Amino acid sequence: MKLNLRQLASLCFGTLAIALPLTAAAWDLAGSKIIKLQTRDGQSIVLGTVEFKPKGEASTFALHLDHAKMKDFFLSMKEFKCLEGEEIQCHVPYPYPNPGTVTRQDLRWLEHSLLFLFKAPKDFGAKLWNGLYYKMEITDKGIVGTPQAVDLVQIGAPPADTSIPPYGPGDRSDIPPNSRWISGLTIE
């Protein structure tokens, strides 16, 4: 079968049109994914998993952190699950009801579910102004979270509207790369 130039172009563009949507959705918010923390010295710590369940345009999610890898710390009259290394980094569960949903364009509730605080091993108590918020974006290989500074004192009282994540861009600030023991977060 011989194809003329117009038929060949149509076949190529048709194949490309089919392939493009497949590559754009190469990493979906569906199924069980592994949460990893990256240290500034290149190590990777598997923190647990997150289960995504598609629900229309959004996906619900449920975190399952591996507490066996974490140590209990009693800081400022509250128990935290923490990782020990150059610093102590403690998970701070978001304390208020939220929809537990994400979309490819909006990962804020997942970001709020993976809040942390850090402290030096010699420091006493929790300093809630030493909060870490991982600003996340979806890539071809998964979700990449870049640490930003945040003051966790802000969630000491419920937000006026619990349907809106309280930490917006104006409440977070960039930190110098590799300035913290945990330099990033991935979900793969």
Joined tokens for residue 163: 């349907």
Q: Which DSSP symbol is given to 52?
A: E
pLDDT at residue 59 is higher than 50 = yes
Q: What integer pLDDT is reported at residue 73 of this predicted model? A: 79
8 A C-beta contact, residue 61 and residue 84 = no
Measured CA distances, 156 to 23, 130, 174 (Å): 42, 14, 22
pLDDT at residue 11 is higher than 50 = no
Q: Between residues 52 and 123, which one has the greater pLDDT?
A: 52
Stretch 170-184: mean pLDDT, rounded? 94
Q: What integer pLDDT is reported at residue 123 of this predicted model? A: 80
Q: What integer pLDDT is reported at residue 13 of this predicted model? A: 44
Question: What type of residue is 9?
Answer: A
Nearest partner of 28 among 151, 126, 133, 140, judged by Cα: 140
Q: What is the per-residue pLDDT across 60-82, written as a single tens digit (0 to 9) for each? A: 999 999 999 999 877 666 788 99
Could you tell me which residues come within 8 angstroms of residue 29 by beta carbon, excluding any fewer than 6 positions away? Answer: 52, 54, 59, 61, 102, 103, 104, 138
CA separation for the pair 81, 95 (Å, rounded): 15
Radius of gyration of the chain (CA): 20
Q: What integer pLDDT is reported at residue 12 of this predicted model? A: 47
Q: Which sequence spans correspond to the domains of the chain?
A: 28-187
Joined tokens for residue 17: 């049109």
Nearest partner of 95 among 145, 162, 168, 171, judged by Cα: 162
Stretch 168-180: mean pLDDT, rounded? 94
Q: What is the pTM of this model?
A: 0.83
